[in-house]
Amino acid sequence: MEKYRVSPKDKVKLKDWDPNESSEFSGDKAAAKKCLLKLNQELEALQELLYAEGKHKVLIVLQGMDTSGKDGTIRSVFEGVNPQGVRVAAFKVPTAEELAHDYLWRVHKVVPGKGEIVIFNRSHYEDVLVVRVHNLVPKETWKKRYTQINAFERMLADEGMLILKFFLYIDLEEQKQRLTERLQDKTKQWKFSVGDLGERKLWSAYTKAYEELLNQTSKSWAPWYIVPANRKWYRNLVIAEVLVDALKGLKMSYPEPKEDLSNVIIE
C-alpha cells in the first residue's frame, strides 16, 4: 500500500490520482469481503495487544469531501475492536468555548493516551480547509498553520504516537450519486443537509486546499495516504492493510505478570 503514501518529496495534483483505482486487489467484491474479515480479525488482536502492553498511542485521521465515507470506514474497518481501547473524536463547528482558545486546543485534549487508538472523524485540518475556502480567517493566518500543525504532530510522534492520516478521495460524480441515495432513502435522509449542496459548488476550491494540505503536511512522522474511495470495499481494504501493517511494525508483546504465577493453584 506504499503507492498511496504521499512522500514529503511529492508534488500532489489530485487530477493525477484515480478515485476508481483498485489495482492492489485482483479479486471480486465477495473476495474483498473475506479479505477484510481477515484484516478485521488481525486488527482486533493487535488492538488487544496494544491495550494490554500500554506503551504505544495510535492516532488515525480521516479527511475527505462530504460523503467520502468517513463514517463507513469507521464501521467497516474497526468492526470487532474492543471499545474500551478505541475512541472516535468528531470535529464539527467549533463551540464558543473552543473558539475562545487556539485552534489546536480542542484537538490536543482528545489525542490518544498509552494503549489507545483514537480515530479523528475530520480533524484539525478543517482549520486549513473550511476556514480557507470560506475566507473565515486571513490568508496569512491559515498559511502559518501548516508549520504549526507539522510541529504539533512532530511533538506527538516524538512522545511515542503513531500517526496515520487518510484522505478519502472520491470524485464529483460519485458524490452526486451518494447524495442522491441519501435524499431518496428514508433511513439515510437524517444525514442529508441542504448545506452540503453549497459545499459541493466549492469542489474546485476544496480540491486546491486539499492539494496544498497534502503537499505541506505529509511527513515521515505523520504521513498522508490518498485512498481511492469511489469503491467503498477497496477504500476499506487499503486503510485496514495500512493500519495492520503499521501496528505489526510496533513489534508489541504482552507484558509479563506483575507477580510470580508459577505456584498459583485455583481450587
132 domain-assigned? yes
83 domain-assigned? yes
pLDDT in tens, 7-49: 998 899 999 999 999 998 887 788 988 999 999 999 999 999 9
The pLDDT-based confidence of 261 (bands split at 50, 70, 90) is confident
179 domain-assigned? yes
264 domain-assigned? no
Does pTM surpass 0.85? yes
Number of domains, the chain: 1
177 domain-assigned? yes
Domain that holds residue 22: 2-248
Q: Which of 95-109, 188-202, 236-250 has the lowest mean pLDDT?
A: 188-202
266 domain-assigned? no
14 domain-assigned? yes
| CATH number of 188's domain | 3.40.50.300
267 domain-assigned? no
- Per residue, what are the HEC states of the chain? CHHHECCCCCCCCHHHCCCCCCCCCCCCHHHHHHHHHHHHHHHHHHHHHHHHHCCCEEEEEEEECCCCCHHHHHHHHCCCCCHHHEEEEECCCCCHHHHCCCCCHHHHCCCCCCCCEEEEECCHHHHHCHHHHCCCCCHHHHHHHHHHHHHHHHHHHHCCEEEEEEEEECCHHHHHHHHHHHHHCCCCHHHCCCHHHHHHCCHHHHHHHHHHHHHHHCECCECEEEEECCCHHHHHHHHHHHHHHHHHCCCCCCCCCCCCCCCCCCC
pLDDT in tens, 200-242: 999 999 999 999 999 999 999 999 999 999 999 999 999 999 9
